[in-house]
Amino acid sequence: MTHNVSIAFGLTLFAGLSTGIGSTMAFFAKRTSTRFLSTSLGFSAGVMIYVSLVEIFAKAKTDLIAELGQVKGYWATVGAFFAGIFIMAVIDKLIPAVDNPHELRKLEANDYPGTEPEYTGLYRVGIFAALAIAIHNFPEGMATFITAVKDIHLGIPIAIAIAIHNIPEGIAISVPVYYATKSRKEAFWLSFLSGLAEPAGAVIGYFILIHTQSNIMCDVIFAATGGIMVFISIDELLPAAEKYGRHHYAAYGFIAGMVVMALSLLLFV
């Protein structure tokens, strides 16, 4: 696994800094294509759920059964998987809905048309959105990194899926900050910095792995990352895909994500 560490860091950094892409889109696109966002987010959810349930869970179960036996290994896999879901649910619960960037709000720059005094409160919205996104991105970065270290062929599509997921988050930060401050630079850098929580999560994942000598613990962490990604898909990606466009765009994107992921994995069989 050691030779994958630098690639895993690079993938996690790429995924996290995609918030900057969203920020740039908000400034230079006259109108964000919600149809494209809906399809893309559905695609990301399809990739992540397929990988989590078909590959990550299966690999973790096989390895844990080899280490612990049929019954204990299966129980350990299931327990770790749902522990990952529980961890993300707790993080999500601790962030108030009004400040949670995954509680959908308008994306468009021209949805904030004025400079009236009431728009000064948008700065607070942007700051809290950045903090909330950073909190969410931390375990996402750790999950992406650990997956890539364990299996680089799984890590690459997961990093791409997370990157797509981070684009509207960048918009959610930069638009209100820009219309509160009139500073594209400040809005961009705040969005950009919030994405650094992903590589920070990768650093924590690295220290967990190098201090974990037991193969059992590594496999348990791997199973938990599957749970984390399933929760992200169900709680964030699919609801966002539904909100940004028509139901069918989200569904088609979801199915396409699973198909593309399945075909790409078959290439490595």
Q: What percent of the chain has pLDDT over 70?
A: 82
3-state secondary structure of 269: coil
CB 74 within 8 A of CB 236: no
With cut-offs at 50, 70 and 90, classify the pLDDT of residue 81.
very high
With cut-offs at 50, 70 and 90, classify the pLDDT of residue 113.
very low
206, two tokens: 């690295």
Worst-scoring range by mean pLDDT, 22-31, 56-65, 166-175, 225-234?
Answer: 22-31
pTM: 0.72
Amino acid letter, residue 60? A
Q: Helix H segments across 151-246? A: 152-181, 184-194, 197-210, 215-232, 238-244
The residue extents of the domains of the chain are 2-263
pLDDT of 97: 52
76, two tokens: 């350990």
CA 41, CA 162: separation in Å to the nearest integer? 9
What is the phi/psi pair of residue 113, to 5°?
-80, -15
pLDDT of 30: 54
DSSP annotation of 4 reads G
Report the mean per-residue pLDDT for the chain.
Answer: 79
CB 42 within 8 A of CB 249: yes
Q: What percent of the chain has pLDDT over 90?
A: 18
Q: What is the mean pLDDT of residues 22-46?
A: 73
Residue-wise pLDDT for 144-193, tens only, equals 898 888 888 888 888 888 888 788 778 777 777 777 777 888 888 888 88
Give the list of residues 6+ apart from residue 164 with CB closer than 8 angstroms, or none: 18, 40, 41, 43, 44
pLDDT of 117: 44
pLDDT of 104: 44
Considering only CA atoms, give the Rg of the chain. Answer: 19
Q: What is the mean pLDDT of residues 5-20?
A: 88
Residue 109 has pLDDT above 50, yes or no: no
Residue-wise pLDDT for 201-231, tens only, equals 899 888 887 777 677 888 888 899 889 889 9
Give the list of residues 6+ apart from residue 217 with CB closer than 8 angstroms, or none: none
Number of Cβ atoms within 10 Å of the Cβ of 24:
18
3-state secondary structure of 107: coil
Q: Helix H segments across 2-121? A: 5-16, 19-28, 34-50, 57-68, 70-94
Residue 139 has pLDDT above 90, yes or no: no
